[in-house]
Structure 1
């Protein structure tokens, strides 16, 4: 079987960064709000999308992040650590309205492969003095995710790294006979209508979660879910990561996800990182 090429998805923060990512050879772009890298990426503005479309002739898919806020801070939660990707009714309505606004703008194109990226979780009730690290389970909020996927149609939707929170729940499961949380999560994502999952195989870097990523990728093949491998993917480790995961042997599309930043605290894309990853994945 001939080696398959691997796609490179670059999360870009603002229109200018998205334009640079396209120019440097990204296979796909995840568009986030400028200045939101430190929060894990937030919903961009319509102006970001307009500016990108007006200045770029790129034909590569554009995936728009739908995330109304970053992780809750301890100051916001009274000092109790709370898991991210749990949204109030008001926040959910903002997400739904954002999808509608992007669709109604006429600035995204199904033929180009454009779509949306989001994820919503549910979890066990918080007890007094409890926090999310105390063994409480989390899972896909199927009702809300399905509603957003349907609202996005005919555009494709990807479940983002909220999935890694689900994987981490498996570390504290009290019932040894229960199905692994990651497996149930994969099936739930597929049932909602998502076409892919962005994951590092758990919390942390993809390079540190290779065994779990292998299991996720195998199961995803049965469910026809695209796996986008992200989380600390850099020139220095992408070749070894692709080899250990046997990514070139997988049927269907496989993407690597890397912001390719300079590492100086800015959101500037490092052209050498892009070229280095493309050279090892092409």
Structure 2
């Protein structure tokens, strides 16, 4: 059975996702900039009721994915702190000035996060050479790539997503996300043959996940 991750920007969304069958929660702050590191108290309070896996975003700010030495140091400190809060994994991604995968820094964070798995987030969609980027992310030790196929949404990037799944050959999980909804998840599954999917399940302009949408996303997974 394929699995569903819900991106939650607040505790209420996490509770809704939990109650409606999400296999994993990605907890973030910073809805307006696509996700930043969540408040520690939100992580603590979410962990109290959540029985499924809880991944946390490690991203200092919105904008690009090239970070200063100070920002990189803070990312390391955040990983060390959140490891103590019984999370199950981390979500981050660092590029260099040429929008290539920063192998050295990403590898350092992945090693710091061990034994917890790490997802390389949609910074992947900024790279110019996605085939090389996939190999680089694998070499860093990530377990998953969250991507819309280097496009703004999964439908525009569906052909690239299919190629990534094929190239990955089960060495890493390719998780389509970005504009994924219950109305298109069947099509994305059929074309890409991915096994893990990602959505915010926000359909009404708010910052709250919609319970019916989560239920339908989960129901439509094969």
Instruction: Give the TM-score normalised by the residue count of structure 2.
Output: 0.96
Gaps of 5+ in 1: 72-83, 125-137, 170-180, 248-253
Distance 2:142 2:86 in 1: 18
Give a deviation string over 1:137-176, Cα, whole Å, max 9, x none: x21001111111111111111100011111xx2xxxxxxx
Of 210, 213, 218, which residue of structure 2 is paired with 1:273? 213
CA drift of 1:190 comes to: 0.9
- Indicate whether 1:60 and 2:71 are aligned: no
- Indicate whether 1:141 and 2:102 are aligned: yes
Instruction: After TM superposition, list the pairs within 5 Å mapping 1:163-242 onto structure 2.
Output: 163-166=124-127, 169=128, 181-221=129-169, 224-242=171-189
CA drift of 1:26 comes to: 0.4
CA drift of 1:14 comes to: 2.0
Distance 1:45 1:269 in 2: 18
- Indicate whether 1:91 and 2:71 are aligned: yes
Distance 2:165 2:16 in 1: 30
Distance 1:246 1:8 in 2: 14
Q: Secondary structure at the match of 1:121?
A: coil
Of 96, 103, 110, which residue of structure 2 is paired with 1:122? 96
Distance 2:136 2:97 in 1: 14
Distance 1:278 1:154 in 2: 28
CA drift of 1:276 comes to: 1.4
Distance 1:149 1:182 in 2: 20
1:245 paired residue number: 192
Of 3, 19, 25, which residue of structure 2 is paired with 1:23? 19
Q: Does structure 1 conserve the Cα–Cα contact (< 8 Å) formed by 2:15 and 2:46?
A: yes
Over 3 Å off, 4+ runs: none
Distance 1:246 1:164 in 2: 19
Q: Kindly name which structure, 1 or 2, has the bigger radius of gyration based on alpha carbons.
A: 1
Distance 2:201 2:172 in 1: 25
Distance 1:98 1:14 in 2: 18
Q: Does structure 2 conserve the Cα–Cα contact (< 8 Å) formed by 1:16 and 1:52?
A: no
Q: Does structure 2 conserve the Cα–Cα contact (< 8 Å) formed by 1:235 and 1:276?
A: yes
Q: Secondary structure at the match of 2:25?
A: strand
Gaps of 5+ in 2: none
Distance 1:278 1:195 in 2: 22
RMSD: 1.3
1:257 paired residue number: 198
Of 40, 61, 72, which residue of structure 2 is paired with 1:69? 61
